[in-house]
Amino acid sequence: MSVPKPTCLINAHMPHSMDEYKECLDIIFNIKSKYDQSHNIILCGDLNGSLIPTRNNKHEISLKRFTSYSGLKPTQDIQSKPTYFHTDGKVTSQIGFIMSNNDILLSTNIYSQDPVNTSTHVPVKACTNLYLEIKKNSKSKTNTLQSNKPTADDKLKCVMGILHNATKLAVPSRIIKQNGPKRKASPDVKRLIEISKNKHRLWNDAGRPPDDHPLFKEKKKAKRNLRKQQRKETAEEKEQFIQKLDENPNDQIFHQLIRRNRSET
């Protein structure tokens, strides 16, 4: 009887410094070497380097060499579709990846840009041939009309449970309890989001014309205005926080300031 291999998921956000970049690749390779025989290995995240043949800066040379000797590779269907879009609307790159050490990855989908996504990155999704074993509770057995085949909701709940359990084991509880400020979108931000959506829709419906087209310029301007307003409100909130600390200094507010500054570095 064969027992399915467990999966080792490595999530990485690679640094810009070349020395730190090589160090991170070494750490990932050590993890991969330790669990290569006993686990399926999946590496995902912003690798800050491209595998496109025409790209050859220092990061990309190191990344290509790493994928060659480590055996971690993405699926072939990603081609050269970008995952990163510079704010100038001209520079793009493919630096977001999901890789594996064997054939467990079936396909990869790189999402398109979205008007509300103010990040310069887009999501990347991969499908695997792995299946989760769903353990049904005793209540589900009492209903004879239900199918024994697990539903999509069952699978989703199982995945969420695994992720929560992994978080409890991997993340210190002290950090989990330090919840940051919950910011709600202001009326101005909501208005700019709607404008950005409309401009993006017009540009997309017109066949996504290039950067010299008026529709592209309007889309770019709308997203820039949205980012500008978000940064402005964040700065105003920080200024109000500092003013509150000046008016009523105490240890609690001071430590909140320290935690905020740490989260921004």
Residue indicated by tokens 């978080």: 167
How confident is the model at residue 171, as a pLDDT?
67
178 falls in which pLDDT band (50, 70, 90)?
A: very low
Task: Find the mean pLDDT for residues 194-215.
Answer: 88
pTM: 0.53
Q: What is the pLDDT of residues 154-164, one digit of tens each?
A: 887 888 888 88
Q: Taking the domains of the chain in order of start, what are their residue ranges?
A: 7-132+147-172, 183-264
Q: What is the pLDDT of residues 244-259, one digit of tens each?
A: 777 777 777 676 767 6
Taking domain 7-132+147-172, whether its CATH number is 3.60.10.10 is answered by yes
Q: What is the pLDDT of residues 80-125, one digit of tens each?
A: 889 999 887 788 899 999 999 888 899 999 998 888 888 889 999 9
